[in-house]
Structure formats: structure tokens, C-alpha cells
Amino acid sequence: MVYSTLQRSQKVLAASRQVHKISAQVLERTAAEETVTSSFASFIHGVQPEHLSEVVRHRSKRMILDSIGVGLVGSTTRVFNIALRYCQLYASNAVSSVYGRKGLKLSPTLAAFTNGIATHSMDFDDTWHPATHPSGAVLPALLAASQMLPPSSKPNGLDFLLAFNVGIEVQGRLMRFSTEAHNIPNRFHPPSVVGTMGSAAATAKLLSLNVTQCAHALAIAASLAGAPMANAATQAKPLHIGNATRLGLEAALLAARGMEASPLILDDIPGCSGFSAFYGDYRPKPLPLPASSHKFLLEKQDVAFKRFPAHLGMHWIVDAAASVRNLLINYSGSFSPSLIRAILLRIPVSKYINRPFPESEHQARHSFQFNACTALLDGEVYLNSFTDGCIHRQELMELLAKVLVEHPEDNIANFDKMYGEVALVLENGDVLTGRCDTFYGHWRKPLSRESLLKKFQSNASHVLPEDKVNSIITTVENLENLSDSSQLASSL
Amino acid sequence: MGPPAPQRLEEPSEAKGPADHREPDTSRETPMQTLTVTENFANVIHGLKASHLTDLVIQRSKRMILDTLGVGLLGTSTEVFHKVIQYSKIYRSDASSTVWGHSDFRLPPLYAAFVNGVAVHSMDFDDTWHPATHPSGAVLPALLALSEALPQKQKFSGLDLLLAFNVGIEVQGRLMRFSNEASNVPKRFHPPAVVGTIGSAAATAKLLALDQFKCKAALAVAASYAGAPMANAATQTKPLHIGNAARHGLEAACLASLSLQGNKQILDMESGLGAFYTDYTPRFLPTLQSYSWLLDQQDVAIKRFPAHLGTHWVADAASSLRKHLVESDDSVPISRIKRIVVKVPDVRYVNRPFPNSEHEARHSFQFAACSALLDGSISVQSFSDQNISRPELKELLSKTKLEHPADNKPSFDNLYCEVNVTLQDGKVFSERCDTFYGHWRKPLSTEDLKKKFHSNASSVLSVEATEGIIETVDNLEKVEDCFVLSAFLKGTQSTKVLSKMCLS
């Protein structure tokens, strides 16, 4: 029923309208040519599988695998449970699968919503540079949409991979419109801004919308974008990804039905903000057309995969803490907290990840202090380091009380440039220091295939049996050969 | 003398101690005052009672409710409404809420709130407040949708509805006063998408009788749904800003009632609601012991025709001026007009010399001036495709230009419009409008308000239903079960329904 209405509305094409001057002072543009917005629409519409390079395919498949695993383990969280209970109120047109809930289906946008929330529920999902969490905003929408389409027009694995990359690419391009975007954010949470646009673009691609519809999908999505940073480090943060993927999907579905919005949404129109509303500095650039050899950003800039479920910044400090812990063990034969007078953390300035005494798992995942001390105690940070029991351990609280924070000027709040340093000032005056410039899992030191698979298996096996887990790995690694990509969704 | 603004509450940096509580100096606070603005809002939302409503507030808010319903009913005949209906039917199920003007199917509350909200704003015919937003459309659809969705034993009286409605309006007004930027016509984020979402969450939390903690969570979660850029104003998507505000606020409150939590200081932080503004100073609400509502001090403007509020000044000025030009057959001699100058504030998104669609026409000073000059007044029909593309109108438009005098500020409280027409023979006529009829300084009479409602509602409802709604809203505080309102809105009625209007 959904698809037939979709088809009908695609046949009734909106008459193309000439872009009109919004005001006499605005530079004249025509829809077909120079606008940034139209270049995006043309790209989304025109890019083909053959534009995907080997490297891009390889990296994006790793991202897909990781994202699924993270989503599967995330389906065991409390926030996921709340969202699921909410969505079950609207259980009709239930065609799309929910991570870790075999047999349960929801309507496409609500499935995307819950799966997006699952993906970000523990802050375990991938991170890019400039900073956002790209895959969680795109994959759930595509999985849900793939199950919406009738058997005769299911996209194959390659179509799916292409659409996924369109969604990632659009996010990366949009973030390069602003220098503000290069640093750890402090106003709007990037996934809720660019993620929504990425989801709209990816869905538009999968549904094969025409150029005009692609443009409108982006514009409609802009009106659904944007969540403030203050909800990061709270239980509501995962909704940012859940909503990005759901609302982007929705925007594309509305555009498919002929909904129209501003044709200049990505352009900079003084006095009347479009996408620029979310940034202090905004300089949009058109995308190169696919006719020339389009270079996907993923080619030049990989993502980072997390080894444990916490904010990316924590990974530097954990590796630094682990190394100084080893130094202390070598120095004194064992790890004895009583030898430590003070723990100095040298970290970049970022208020929302600087928490001396986190009280909840969400806060703990966003606390340099907590992660450093956990790594000092245990040698590494694990999935269950964030349970209530571990958060409130006596020995941990004692260590936390010894922590002092420093912000060296050369430690920039930027995932490409930052470092982490942990210095233990011992009671006898000696100082041991551990430093990490690039943690294992960062794009400069990517996880090996083994490590990535290990993470996936560990995550997925929380809710799926071993044979299912392995078959997903096989499917994703051979995604371009899959004839019906909705099989991926139904295997979850 | 109001409560002092709280100290800015930021995330902790170097200090020791629990991360969660940043307590400002409490020694100067009275026992009634709370630690944070956010908590304060939650307490007030939770603590307000029907007895706090004044007569004036009741009267004004009932007018708003009536007007909003009429505007929404009319809006169900629009193209944008039709599209969102098609989309939302995907979610059709055995739930439970009325789609205004449609008895043939129902939608889950979330989507009923969405489509009805879109209907309300679909023609830009809904109310406008100062500082500028469209308050009612973000709140009423959510409340009505929710009121039908809850288990049978739970019913809401008209007074419950009225109170929750006013909570939603009040919260929006208070939030807008946190920023000077909000006093002028907006440039960055469309206000309904920002404060409307929070208002809807507050109203829904009230109707659900959530406790303080959950009220606070509703506000926090709603903030993560708020905000849409101005660029989509004057496009078909603009009505979705209200539809989404209604539905997302409702969703936020529902998630909060299921114990989802967000940032407990969402209203206090620059990285909270402050993210949407360049200047942001949150303030406490008045004490519950003698609550003073904003609606008491500041009424809304009700539109007489479906277009951006700024065009109403233009229409009144142009209509007055027309009287000087009109000939014996009540036509305007277009060829005798050499030049039309319209003096208005500089508001980019209402500056369109040659609008191409109904959405653009509703956001065009130029179009309003020329339409009113031609026809004497502007109405719903003025925006039909036929009327937009009339050659005589285009001719007038080509002679029109805007000027932006320095003293004409883009604020709905201060702006004016002056229209000058220069004839070929050199004669100049000029008329000025400082306050149009329908503005809060010159409110519509009860009769005219009802006339507007009649005209709107009768496009989709029968006379009985139309009359039924007028009477129900008029006596809203006495209605025992506001289910009757939804029944009328659906578009079918029987004597059984009419008799359910239990007025005590």
C-alpha cells in the first residue's frame, strides 16, 4: 500500500518552478545551475555504483558491520526499551525489523527511530572528522526503507551500499561548510544537524527520487534538524541519532509524495537562514558533479571505531592511563593506588566531557576522569565498566578524588589533533607519565579486521545466536553481491 | 520587582564535588524559589490549577481556541494537508484520534497532532503573538489528539483542556522573553519550531498530570526536537513547523512519562535551549501564589485573511487608499497609476515582488498591496491560482516597489505601513496604517471572530457541527468531557452527540 502511493506520486511530477528572487538584493540564481543546493541534488541523483572506489567500499562495509553490532548490543539498554515501548503504541504497517527483536516489526520510520537509538545508546558507534557519528544516522533508515519496497523493486546490495555512501558523503560535505564544525561541538549536536540531512539523502537515493525531489528531501529535512548539546551525556542523547535517521527518512518519504520546500536551503541567503541557521560561520560549496571522477570523502578520511562504549575523547586518555599504569607496575611491582598522591589529566577543553564525579552511565561515558581512573584500575575499559556497580566502586571513588585536570594550550579539542596525557604524582615525589597521541581504533591507527570482527561478535552475541552472527558478517563483507538488500534487515 | 535572574549554570570545570549540582548562592533565595530555571518551570507547570485562570485569560484563550479550530478546519482543504494525510495513512491503526474534518479514518495521536497542526498553519491564517510566534497551533492539536487516546476511564473536562492549553501558551511566551532577538521578526530559526515544541511538551505534560521530574524531562527531551530554519517559511513546508512542534512536544512528554530523562538544566544552559539564540538570559517564572499570565498582559493578533501578519498593515493602508482612486463602477483605473510605493520594515522573507505560488503570495508585501488596491480587501479567495496570476494584478505589481524607512522596525508591536500611489498626472495619494483591525491593540469583535470561524468551518462541517463547536468553546470551562469537541471536529454528528454536551 505504501509503495503504490509512492509510485503514484512519483508519476505526478511537480511542475518545475523557476526559482524566484527572494528579495531584490539577493544574487540571481536559476534552479538548474549554480546553487549549492542543486549541486547536492544532482550529485545524489546522479552518482552511480561505479563511482565507489575499492577503498571506499572496504571502509564503508567495515562501518556497516560495526554499526550493526553496536546496534544489536544497544538493544539491551534501558533507553532502547523506553523507545520501544513508546513505538509499540503505533504498531501498524509493521514491515520493518527491529534490532535484536526477532519477529517484531514496526512501521519504517519508527523502526528506524528505535534502531538509531539502539546504535547510539551506549556511545559505541563510529566517529568521523570533522566530528559526527555518521553511520547511525543513515543505516537504520536504509534498513527500514529496504523492507518497505515491494519484492519486484528491492534494491540490491550494491544499490544499498551506494545509498549508504551518499548518506555519509553528504554529511561530510555539509560539515566542511563551517570551520566551527572541526572542533568538538558546543552548540548543536552534529548528528542531529548533518545526520538528518544524510539520512534524507541516503533514503532519497535508495528510493530513486528525481533531482527535484532530492532537493526537497534535503530542505524538508533541514526543518527537522538540530538538537542542542545540553542533552549529550543524558539518556536523551541517543534520540539525536534515532531522530536523525527517522526524520531524514520521513523527509524523503514526504518529498516522494510531492512535498516542496526551499530550493535554496543549503545556500547562504542573508537575512533568512536556511541550513546556515545552525552555524556561526557558514560557507557552502557546491559538490562536484559525478560526471567527473567524484572523490568520496571517506576515501581521504576514514572513521574511528570505538573499542569501548564512551565518547571518543575518552579513548586517548584510556590508552595513556593504561600505559602509565604499566609504568607504575614496572616501577613498584604492582598497581598500588596508595602510592599515588595525585593524578594529572592533560586534556583539551570541552565542558561536556569534563566530569569529576559522574553519577550515571551516560555521564560516565562522557567523563575524562572516570575513564582514566577505570583504566588505571582495570587496565582497560569494558562494556560493563559503566554498570552501576562499577561506577560507584569504592576504589574508583578514591582515585577520582585524586584527579586534577589541566588544559595545555597545545591540546586542541579536535579529534584529529588532540592527545591525552596522564601523569601520576607519587607520594615520594616521583612523576610517571603516559601519553597517547593516537589510540588504537583512530583513523590513523585503524582496527584490524580481527579486532573489528571481535567487537562485532562480542556485541551481536548478546542477542543473536552464533550462526546468525557469522552469517551477518558474511553478508556484509559480500554486500555488493547481494541481490536483495532487504535480507540484511530481516536477518537482524 | 520580579525574581532575580539565576547565575549562569554551566557544566563543571575544575571544581570538585558531585558533577550534577551547581548550586548558586542560596542565601538570598526565598524558600519558594528553586535552584534552576528549568526546575522552576517544571514546578510551575505542575502546580498551576484552574483556579489560577483569570476571566480575561479565559476569554482570550477561548477566542484563540475558536479561531484556531476554524482555521484548521479550513486548512483541511489545502494541498499540503492532503499530502501529509497521504503520508500519515501509513500509520493507520486501531488508534484513536480525530483528524479534523474527516470522519472516514482516524490516526494515532502523534500523527493526528501532526496533520491537524499542519492544517492550522497551512494557510498562515492562525494567531500571532508578541514576541512573534504562532502559539495556538503548536498546542491545541496535541492536546485534542491526546485527550482521545487515553484509556476510557480517564476523561478530561473542558477546564482541564483550558488549563493545559494556557500552560502551553504561557511557556512559549516566557521562553521568548529569554532573548532580545526574539522581539523582532525572526531571521534564523522559525519561532514556532523552537518555543512551540517546548510549549506543546509543557501542555501535554500538564494534561497527563506528570510529576515535577517528568515535567522537567518533557522540557528537556522536547528541546532535542526543536528548531527549524527560516528559509522554509514561504514554502509548502512551513506548515510542518507547527505540525511538528505539536507532534514532537507530544512525543517528548510521552517519552518523559515513560521515564526518559534529558538534561535537567535544559532551559538554563547556553548549550541547551540557548543554542537557538545569540543572546540568551533565562528567567524564573512568577510565584504560583499569585501567578500572572502573559496572555493577561499581551493578547494575540487574529488574522482576517490568510497571509503573513505584516501584510495586514499593508492591506488596511491600501484599502483606505483605494477609496481615493475608485471610480463610479467601483473599479480601480490601473492605467492611471504610475507608481506604488509601500513603506514597510525590512523583512526579507516577506519581500517578494512577483510571487509564484500561494505560499509566496502569502509572504509578499507587494502582493498584499496590489490585491487590496484592486479588490478593496483580501480574503481566502485572493490566493487562488487564478487570482494570483491575474494580468491586472501583475501590471500593478510591476509598478510597485518597497521602501524601508529607518523608523519602521521589524517588530509586530511597532511596525507601520504607508502606501503612496502616484498617478500619471502627478497626483499623489498616501495612507498609513499603524494598527490593523485584528491586531492586539484593536482586537476583532466577538461577532467578527465568530464570523471568521463560521466562514472557515462551514467549508468542511455542517451548520450543526459549526454551531456546536462555537457553543462548546464558549462554555468550555463548564464542559464535563471535552470528547464532544473532537466529536464535532470529526464532521459527523447525531443528536446523541449533541446531548452529550453536558453543561452544568
**Does A5 score more than 50 pLDDT?**
no
A186 shares contact with chain B (CB less than 8 Å): yes
Instruction: State the Cα–Cα distance between residues B261 and B290, nearest whole angstrom.
Output: 30
B233 shares contact with chain A (CB less than 8 Å): yes
pLDDT of residue B80: 64
Residue in chain B closest to A191 (alpha carbons) equals B224
Q: Look at residues B285, B286, B267 and name the one whose alpha carbon lies nearest to residue B8.
A: B267
Of B95, B229, B258, the CB nearest to A274: B229
Q: Look at residues B190, B244, B232, B191 and name the one whose alpha carbon lies nearest to residue A250.
A: B244
Beta bridge partners of B418: B343, B432
**Cα angle for residues A109, A115, A120 (degrees, 5° grid):** 125
User: pLDDT-based confidence at A323, cuts 50/70/90?
Assistant: very high
The better pLDDT of the pair A88, B120 is held by B120
Stretch (H or E) spanning B337: strand B337-343
Residue in chain A closest to B222 (alpha carbons) equals A227
Instruction: State the Cα–Cα distance between residues A483 and A387, nearest whole angstrom.
Output: 42
User: Mutate which of B90, B122, B146, B266 to test chain A, going by most A C-beta atoms within 10 A?
Assistant: B90
pLDDT of residue B406: 96
The better pLDDT of the pair B106, A297 is held by A297
Burial class (CB within 10 angstroms; exposed 0-12, middle 13-18, buried 19+) of B96:
middle
Give percent above pLDDT 70 in chain A: 81
Asked whether the beta carbons of A243 and B261 are under 8 A apart, the reply is: no
User: pLDDT-based confidence at A365, cuts 50/70/90?
Assistant: very high
Q: Mean of the per-residue pLDDT values for chain A? A: 84
Q: Cell 455542517 belongs to which residue?
A: B462
The better pLDDT of the pair A79, A117 is held by A117
pLDDT tens sequence for chain B (504 residues):
333 333 333 333 333 333 333 333 334 434 444 456 656 666 666 666 667 777 777 767 766 777 776 676 666 666 666 666 665 665 656 667 888 887 777 788 888 898 888 888 888 888 999 999 999 999 999 999 999 887 666 788 888 888 889 899 999 999 999 999 887 778 899 999 999 999 999 999 989 988 888 898 999 999 999 999 888 887 888 989 999 999 999 999 988 888 888 898 899 888 999 999 999 998 888 877 777 888 888 889 989 999 999 999 999 999 999 999 998 888 999 999 999 999 999 998 899 999 998 889 999 999 999 999 999 999 989 999 999 999 999 999 999 999 999 999 998 999 999 999 999 999 999 999 999 999 999 998 988 988 888 888 887 888 898 899 888 988 888 888 888 888 888 876 444 444 444 443
Instruction: State the Cα–Cα distance between residues A462 and A464, nearest whole angstrom.
Output: 6
In angstroms, the separation between the Cα of residue B155 and the nearest Cα of chain A is 19
Average pLDDT in the A1-17 region? 37
Residue in chain A closest to B111 (alpha carbons) equals A90
pLDDT of residue B43: 64
- Burial state string for A378-392 with b = 16 or more CB within 10 A and e = fewer than 16: beebeeebbeeebbe
Residue length of chain A = 492
Residue length of chain B = 504
- B52 half-sphere exposure, CB direction, 13 A CA radius: 23
The better pLDDT of the pair B19, A457 is held by A457
A79 phi, psi to nearest 5 deg: -65, -35
Instruction: State the Cα–Cα distance between residues B158 and B471, nearest whole angstrom.
Output: 12
pLDDT of residue A269: 81
A352: chain B residues, CB-CB within 8 Å: 11, 271
Residue in chain A closest to B18 (alpha carbons) equals A357
pLDDT tens column, A405-417: 999 999 999 899 9
Alpha helices by DSSP H, A379-435: 388-391, 394-400
A275 shares contact with chain B (CB less than 8 Å): yes
Q: Which of A174-188, A427-441, B46-60, B481-495 has the lowest mean pLDDT?
A: B46-60
In angstroms, the separation between the Cα of residue B105 and the nearest Cα of chain A is 14
The better pLDDT of the pair B286, A422 is held by A422
Give B40's contacts (C-beta < 8 A, 6+ positions apart). B33, B34, B284, B285
Asked whether the beta carbons of B464 and B501 are under 8 A apart, the reply is: no
In angstroms, the separation between the Cα of residue A187 and the nearest Cα of chain B is 5
Give B393's contacts (C-beta < 8 A, 6+ positions apart). B367, B370, B371, B374, B387
User: pLDDT-based confidence at A402, cuts 50/70/90?
Assistant: very high
Asked whether the beta carbons of B88 and B111 are under 8 A apart, the reply is: yes
Q: Which of A78-87, A205-214, A247-256 has the lowest mean pLDDT?
A: A78-87
pLDDT tens column, A195-229: 999 999 999 999 999 888 898 999 999 999 999 89
DSSP state letter for A191: I
3-class state of residue B136 by DSSP: helix
Average pLDDT in the A451-463 region? 87
DSSP state string for B183-240: GS--SSB-HIIIIIHHHHHHHHHHHTT--HHHHHHHHHHHHTT---BGGGTTSTTHHH
B85 phi, psi to nearest 5 deg: -65, -45
Q: How far is residue A83 from each of residues A124, A489, A492, B69, B252, measured CA to CA in Å?
A: 18, 19, 18, 32, 11
Asked whether the beta carbons of A331 and A436 are under 8 A apart, the reply is: no
pLDDT of residue B10: 33
Beta bridge partners of A444: none
Cis peptide bond N-terminal to A130, omega within 30: yes
DSSP state string for A330-371: HHHSS--GGGEEEEEEE----GGG--SS--SHHHHTT-HHHH
Q: For residue A90, give the C-alpha cell.
A: 503505533
Q: Look at residues A135, A137, A142, A65 and name the one whose alpha carbon lies nearest to residue A96.
A: A142
A268 shares contact with chain B (CB less than 8 Å): no
pLDDT of residue A435: 97
pLDDT of residue A438: 97
Tell me the torsion sign for CA atoms B31, B33, B36, B39.
positive
3-class state of residue B421 by DSSP: strand
Asked whether the beta carbons of A232 and A352 are under 8 A apart, the reply is: yes
Tell me the torsion sign for CA atoms B68, B73, B78, B82.
positive
Instruction: State the Cα–Cα distance between residues B205 and B167, nearest whole angstrom.
Output: 9
Cis peptide bond N-terminal to B131, omega within 30: yes
Residue A239 and residue B224: Cβ atoms within 8 Å?
A: yes
pLDDT of residue B88: 63
Q: Is the ipTM of this complex over 0.90?
A: no
Q: Which of A44-53, A167-176, A349-358 has the lowest mean pLDDT?
A: A44-53
pLDDT tens column, B112-130: 898 888 888 888 888 999 9
Residue A363 and residue B93: Cβ atoms within 8 Å?
A: no
Number of other residues whose CB lies within 10 A of the CB of residue B82? 15
Instruction: State the Cα–Cα distance between residues A254 and A375, nearest whole angstrom.
Output: 48
3-class state of residue A404 by DSSP: strand
